[in-house]
Amino acid sequence: MSAAGATARRSMLRGVPSRERLIRRAGPPDAGAIGAIYDEAIATGVATFAEGPHHDHERRAWLQARGDRAPVWVMEEDGAVMGWSALAPFSHRPWYDGVAEYTVYVGAAAHGRGAGGAMLDHLIREAPTLGYWKLVGMILEGNDAGMALATGRGFRPVGTHLAHGRVAGRWRDVTIVELHLEEDA
- CA 129-133-104 angle, to 5 degrees, is 75
Using CA atoms, how far apart are residues 23 and 27, in angstroms rounded to an integer? 12
Is 5 a residue whose pLDDT tops 50?
Answer: no
Look at residue 168 in the predicted model and tell me its pLDDT. Answer: 83
Residue 3: pLDDT over 80:
no
Residue 145 region, left (φ>0) first, then alpha (ψ -120 to 50), else beta? alpha
pLDDT in the model for residue 185 = 60
What mean pLDDT, rounded, does the chain reach?
Answer: 87
Q: What is the pLDDT of residue 20?
A: 86
Contacts 24+ apart (CB under 8 A), 144-147: 145/111, 145/116, 146/46, 146/47, 146/104, 147/175, 147/177
d(CA 151, CA 20): 27
* Rounded percentage of the chain residues whose pLDDT exceeds 90: 67
pLDDT category of residue 167 using cuts at 50, 70 and 90: confident
Residue of higher predicted confidence among 130 and 40 = 130
Q: Tens digits of per-residue pLDDT, 25-58? A: 999 999 999 999 998 887 887 788 788 888 888 9
Q: Where are the domains of the chain?
A: 3-180
Running DSSP on this structure, what letter comes out for residue 19? S
**Mean pLDDT on 90-113:** 94
Please state the rounded mean pLDDT for residues 149-175: 94
Q: In the prediction, which pLDDT does 155 show?
A: 98
The pair phi, psi for residue 171, each rounded to 5°, is -65, 135
Radius of gyration of the chain (CA): 16
CATH architecture entry for 3-180:
3-Layer(aba) Sandwich (3.40)
pLDDT at 184: 65
Give the pTM.
0.85
